[in-house]
Each structure stands twice: as structure tokens, then as C-alpha cells.
Structure 1
Amino acid sequence: MDGDEVEVVVAHNEHATLRVGDVFVKIDADQTRSDVEVEAMALAPIPTPEILWRKPPALALAALPGTALGHLGEPSPASPAAWAAAGAAVRILHDAPLPPWPGQSLDELAARLADECEWLVANDVLPADVVTRNRRLAETALRPWTPVFIHGDLQVDHVFVAGDEVTGVVDWSEASQGDALFDLATLTLGHKEHLGDVIAGYGVDVDRDLIRAWWSLRCLTNVRWLAEHGYGSPDGFPEVAVLRAQ
């Protein structure tokens, strides 16, 4: 790695990710998140980054080959076949044995949704009618489901592809038991034109209305965190654009 520069990939007051050559070093103040990430990658039946070493609070991972499937707020350069391959990989994960730790309960999700909606209106981040419309939609996602092994933060940036093949999935610290449709919604958030490709690869017909409901819920509950962690003005967030379009 001699001569390689240090690239700051993510940095805020909870955790940071640095890249030096082909090595990513994740530094996390909460070692529980790192524990989950390490165990989830060991359990996941799909490609994940190789762990090079771990010296808390740092975790070093090898870079995956290929490039991210896309980025939120930008058109994806990946082919429909690559998106379908991502859907197939998600199906393999969801068919795997459950991880031994639970995810968020319906009550916890509902309470967080209520708190975030109140904050959005109180701080004039979005018009009340936009928040109300999306909250009603989001609440339809909060129904009983059969839990599966979910990634929990399956942003399009976290899935890597080379050509039409998935080379790996990164950032497993939110993995848990949860609703399969949450992963599918997170993957396709802001990329609804590829929802059909993902579902085709997933191989099971799913309720697209519930995926749209999860889009609303994820966006409503993410805006404050992004605003408070230095990601700029909410007006420019892709999540806000999704909420306005829903």
C-alpha cells in the first residue's frame, strides 16, 4: 500500500470508513455494530468482503471487485441483468437460516416513525400534507411478517457488480431478522425503474404497494439523521425527492 493516499469514504461522530489502496478500515465507537457486521458476514450465504484484521475499534476489510450497482439520486449505469442478479442474491440471503439476534419490533418501528414525522413537520422540513400522506402509506408496511435474514441497510451503493454478476455486498452492521420487503425496498429506493428487474431476479412475486410503503418509511425515518450528520440541506436529499413524488 506504499504511496496510496488515505480516502475518507464516510466520516461522522458515530463511525468512519477510510480507504487505503484495496483496504477499507472501518472505525466504529459502537462495537456492537462491528460484532453484528462480523457475525453477519460469517453467516451470509452470498459474497462479502474478506476480513483482513480486527483491532477494536477498527475493522479492516478487503475491497470487493467491481463497482457499486448505483448511487441514490443518480441514474444507475448497471444493466437490467445486473439488477436481476442483485435480486437473486437477496433471495439467497432471505432463504438462509435466521441470524440469532432479532430485529426491530413493530412497536419500535411505529414509535420511530411517529417521532420522525413530528420532527419533519415541527422543523418545516416538508409540508405537513407530504408527511401525512407518506406516513399513512408507511404505516401499511407495519403489519406482521414472517422474518427472514435481512441485510438491513441494502442501499444500492452496498451491492457490488462486475458486468452482470454480483461480486459482493458490504456494510452488514444492520443485519437482523426482518421483513424481506424492507431489503427489496431499500435496494430499489430512488430506482423504481429497476424494481421489475430486481423482482424478476428475486424469483417470487411480491406486493409492490408494500415496497412503496417501505420507501416512504425509510425516507421519513432517515431525513433527520442525514441532516444532523452533515449531509447538507434536506431540500437536496434524494429521500426528500422520493417523499415528494410518492
Structure 2
Amino acid sequence: MDEVQVVVAHSERATLRVGDVFLKVDADQARIDVEVEAMSIAPVPTPEVLWRKPPVLAIRALRGAPLGLLGGPSTGSPAAWAAAGAAIRKLHDAPLPPRTGRAGRSVVALAAELDSECESLVKGGILPADLVLRNRQVAEAALRPWTPAFTHGDLQIAHLFADGDEVTGIIDWSEAGQGDALYDLATFTLGHEEHLGDVVAGYGTEIDVDVIHAWWSLRSLLVVRWLSEHGFDPFAPGCEVDVLRSRM
């Protein structure tokens, strides 16, 4: 019998792996609805849905391995990172999905959330005030008008699988929808700044790098407290707090 592996688990959802099957348990069925719908229309490789019986979604494991991990080395070659950029561009060029995703929050709402989170980080003694202030200044460049694209919404490097230089699939689509394309690119390259050029080369169009830097700061500021409260360590080497420090 295959071993049961806990991939990720917190109060909102859990993912287990048994052999070549992933079991996603989510109390919020709306997230699963978004995920299944997005995978069915995304023009990039996605996992095969085996069955769904709320609150569980079963999907088949992808060939290959994650391109890398936040806080760890990339297992991919420059060509693999460029192939990832090309796959992301294909997604962003696709017809818009019906929903607004995580990457599509309004500038006004996002700025208000960011200011509130920065205040909490400083008042709670989680991060130094100068670190928060500097990154809040950097984050400002992300708060601008953008053209909606089909975005993944949580395109962490661990969510893109590759076999050699071939992209074999993208997982975890529960935050997908219309949004800012540069949010996806920033999320994907977070903590791996050395590969941003490879990704942009594969993406195939001019990118405002200052906005990518802004999203690195903004995203990190918004998640540090949540990660700390849910059993993750944003202070680990190469993770979110190191990303914030790199902007100083």
C-alpha cells in the first residue's frame, strides 16, 4: 500500500498524496468550483481530475517535479524557466474566464488591505518599521491600472511542474480568474530573482521590472502574518522576509 503523504495542511484546506493521486480537502466548495472550472479551460497542461466528492477533489499527479521551491534551489535549467515563461504567456493571452481572481483585486481595496497589514506588522512587532516602510514604498508601483488577463492567482514556483525543459503542468487553480498578469509573474519568481530574465525571455514581451519588484514587496507584506499564524515560516532563508530585506 502506498504511503499517505501530507503535502500541506492548515485550518482552511489540506492536500494529501497517495501514490500518483492527490486528494484535496477544502471546506470552501467555492474554491474547488473555481479550481475545476479553471483547469477545464486553461490552455496549459493541468492535472487530470479523477473524481470529486465534496469536500474532496482527487487529481492525478503530474509527470516531472516542481521547478523549484521558495527558500530552496531551483531544480530547473534556464531553458526550463524560459519554457515556464512561455506557458504563463499562453495562459495570459487566453480568453478571459468569467470570474475575477485573487490577482484581480481593485487598486483601492488592495491599497487599503496593504496599509492595514503594514500597520499590524509594525504594531505587533512582527517586522521592523523601517523594513515595512521601505517595502510599502516599493509596493506602490504595483498599485496602477492594468489590463485584465487570465491569471492563475497563486502561481508559486512549486505549482509549476517540469520534466527536463518541458512544462508538464500547473496545479492549484483555486485563486484563478481575471487579474493582473504581472502578479502571476512576480509570484512565480518570488525568491528566485536570478531567473527573472529567463522567465521574461520565454514570456516574449517587454515587462516593467519595477512592477515585478513592487509585487514581490506587496505580496510578501500581505502574507507574512498569515503564514506565521498558520504554521509556515516566512523568516526561513530565502523566503518572504528575506525578499523584503533584499529591497532595503
Deviation at 1:235, TM superposition (A): 3.1
Looking at structure 2, the residues matched to 213 and 206 of structure 1 have their Cα atoms a distance apart, in angstroms, of: 13
Question: Where do 1:195-206 residues align within 5 Å?
Answer: 195-206=196-207
User: Which of 52, 55, 58 in structure 1 is aligned with 2:53?
Assistant: 55
Deviation at 1:236, TM superposition (A): 2.5
Deviation at 1:101, TM superposition (A): 0.9
Amino acid at match of 2:235: D
Determine whether 1:126 maps to 2:136.
no
Amino acid at match of 2:182: L
Determine helix, strand or coil for the equivalent of 1:59.
strand
TM-score by structure 2 length? 0.96
Give the 4+ runs in structure 1 shifted more than 6 A.
none
Please provide the CA RMSD for this pair: 0.9
**2:25 aligned residue:** 27
Looking at structure 1, the residues matched to 70 and 113 of structure 2 have their Cα atoms a distance apart, in angstroms, of: 23
Deviation at 1:15, TM superposition (A): 0.2
Looking at structure 1, the residues matched to 58 and 113 of structure 2 have their Cα atoms a distance apart, in angstroms, of: 32
Determine helix, strand or coil for the equivalent of 2:136.
helix
Give ranges in structure 2 of 5+ residues lacking alignment: none
Looking at structure 1, the residues matched to 131 and 204 of structure 2 have their Cα atoms a distance apart, in angstroms, of: 33
Deviation at 1:20, TM superposition (A): 0.3
Deviation at 1:186, TM superposition (A): 0.5
**2:40 aligned residue:** 42
Looking at structure 2, the residues matched to 222 and 15 of structure 1 have their Cα atoms a distance apart, in angstroms, of: 17
Determine helix, strand or coil for the equivalent of 2:241.
helix
Amino acid at match of 1:94: H
User: Which of 10, 14, 23 in structure 2 is aligned with 1:12?
Assistant: 10
Determine helix, strand or coil for the equivalent of 1:61.
strand
Amino acid at match of 2:72: E
User: Which of 49, 64, 67 in structure 2 is aligned with 1:66?
Assistant: 64
Question: Where do 1:39-188 residues align within 5 Å?
Answer: 39-102=37-100, 103-188=104-189
Deviation at 1:80, TM superposition (A): 0.1
**1:217 aligned residue:** 218
Looking at structure 2, the residues matched to 236 and 225 of structure 1 have their Cα atoms a distance apart, in angstroms, of: 15
Amino acid at match of 2:196: L
Percent of residue pairs identical: 69
**Residues matched between the structures, number:** 243
Tell me if the contact between 2:80 and 2:165 (Cα under 8 Å) persists in the aligned partners. Answer: yes
Determine helix, strand or coil for the equivalent of 1:167.
strand
Deviation at 1:140, TM superposition (A): 1.4
Tell me if the contact between 2:71 and 2:236 (Cα under 8 Å) persists in the aligned partners. Answer: no
